[in-house]
Structure 1
């Protein structure tokens, strides 16, 4: 069967998290940089669709292509690691410490930013003919996105900050469901469908994704957006990262872990569904140092 039941899904999520936390610095940075770059291209594509067709729905429907591609290639996003790493730590996998999880988050953040920023620079060159002309219609739209989602929040003070944080939570609730949900399917079409649905939802509803914003806001600054780097950090990136962390872990990772993972039962040699002994299944659990096929972003 191509469908993996939730009780069987959670050990797979934990294995994937352990594998990624234990990756070398080089591999983590490369995978994160490529993940950020591909997602940035997808965001640029969605904005282009919105501007040229006047249909935000169509842009949201097509945006998930980038997320699906980077997942299938085994690249990483910080928003996914906000769920995978902590679950491996909670399950007490060998070598997975709090410090190791934080190290992974730091490396993935840096890699995602480098990839997204590289695409931001390249897109700015494309829409200005190498900074020789004013931004075209797409470039102007990106600049205005940066303004509305920084100084636009600042105008509302504490209420704006709360709204930004909650949008970050809701975003990674959807995105992390796509990350872990893709492991429910064993074939490429099934994985693509499960990832496409929640990612389309977050993009159309304007929720805040820290990696997408690593592209949109540097692009906006390069293209004449009327906001500053400090506006970007204080009134978007930092609260968005925190909201993404809380939303992904609280609304996706922990509910799955505590209701389907049953870590104590598995350690005692019981099956997740029935609680009966199954030593052969326990022995068949993959080692965390082995590479998983189709591991999540």
Structure 2
């Protein structure tokens, strides 16, 4: 069957986290780099549709193409890992140092990929800085300011607002990871993960990897934003918020659902908690995001 039953999803979620933790640094960097760039492409598509006079919701419908490519190709997105690896650590399947190292490499890969595509995008949109930003590029510049300068004007409340929007964002993004696990087919994974990702983008929440493209691209095209403003008023609080949202609202529930399922099916007189030998390598597409 193409469909994976809800009773199996929580276990598959943890299996994928364990497999993800075993990837070497080079793979994490490469997969993270590609993911950062792909989300940049998807964000650029969304801005382009809006600049053409289409309703913003059309851009939200189009944006999940980037996430779908990441899901299907088994790439690495730190926001999805924020739910999976802490949950696996809490379950005792992945060591804290391993989880932290994994997240660090993926974050770096995402950052490099997002910034690299931002540089290429800015070069194309401004013809290597010979013309001012216009059309979708002007929207990117405005978005970069809204994601930094606007929060700065609010002071401490701005940091709190960015963090809360990031929590809500990654609740949905990590639900996209879970939804992708519910199907074994390519089309099933794409359709399932599309729903929550469309939801977060429609509502305008904060995604740390998307911002690794939007803010640098805006800065390169003339947005009056400093590197300090980027990191203090957006990247740091948004990353922390994404971590909290993914772990608290997806990672922990998946862990609890799995624990309940294990307790229910454990034979009498045997431990309900399976040993390490229970974990097998999942399908490659279950390790993504």
TM-score, normalized by length of structure 1? 0.91
Note the C-alpha offset of 1:91: 2.2
Note the C-alpha offset of 1:113: 0.5
Please identify, of 111-120 and 46-55, the stretch whose mean Cα deviation from structure 2 is larger.
Answer: 46-55
Note the C-alpha offset of 1:5: 2.3
Match of residue 24 from structure 2: 24
SS in 1 for 2:228: helix
Note the C-alpha offset of 1:193: 1.5
CA contact (8 A) 2:12 2:282 kept: no
Note the C-alpha offset of 1:170: 0.2
**Residue pairs, 1:88-127, within 5 angstroms:** 88-93=88-93, 96-127=94-125
Structure 1 residue aligned with 2:283, among 252, 272, 292? Answer: 292
Q: 1 CA distance for matches of 2:225 and 2:126? A: 19
Note the C-alpha offset of 1:262: 0.9
Structure 2 residue aligned with 1:262, among 247, 259, 262? Answer: 259
Q: 2 CA distance for matches of 1:144 and 1:97? A: 42
Unaligned runs of 5+ in 1: none
Match of residue 245 from structure 1: 243
CA contact (8 A) 2:15 2:282 kept: no
Q: 2 CA distance for matches of 1:83 and 1:22? A: 16
Match of residue 41 from structure 1: 41
Match of residue 212 from structure 1: 210
Match of residue 57 from structure 2: 57
**Residue pairs, 1:162-181, within 5 angstroms:** 162-181=160-179
Match of residue 198 from structure 2: 200
Q: Give the aligned CA root-mean-square deviation in angstroms.
A: 2.0
Deviations 1:243-282 (A, max 9, x none): 0000011011101211x1117x74xxx6x4x444699xx6
Q: 2 CA distance for matches of 1:293 and 1:78? A: 17
Q: 1 CA distance for matches of 2:283 and 2:54? A: 41
**Residue pairs, 1:108-187, within 5 angstroms:** 108-187=106-185
Pairing 1:66–2:59 present: no
Deviations 1:39-74 (A, max 9, x none): 111011111111113310100001001100111001
Note the C-alpha offset of 1:228: 1.1
CA contact (8 A) 2:78 2:106 kept: yes
Q: 1 CA distance for matches of 2:9 and 2:202? A: 28
Q: 2 CA distance for matches of 1:23 and 1:275? A: 30
CA contact (8 A) 2:147 2:234 kept: yes
Q: What count of residue pairs does the alignment treat as equivalent? A: 285
SS in 2 for 1:71: helix
Q: 2 CA distance for matches of 1:27 and 1:292? A: 17
Note the C-alpha offset of 1:158: 2.0
Match of residue 226 from structure 2: 228
Please identify, of 235-244 and 179-188, the stretch whose mean Cα deviation from structure 2 is larger.
Answer: 179-188
CA contact (8 A) 2:91 2:255 kept: no
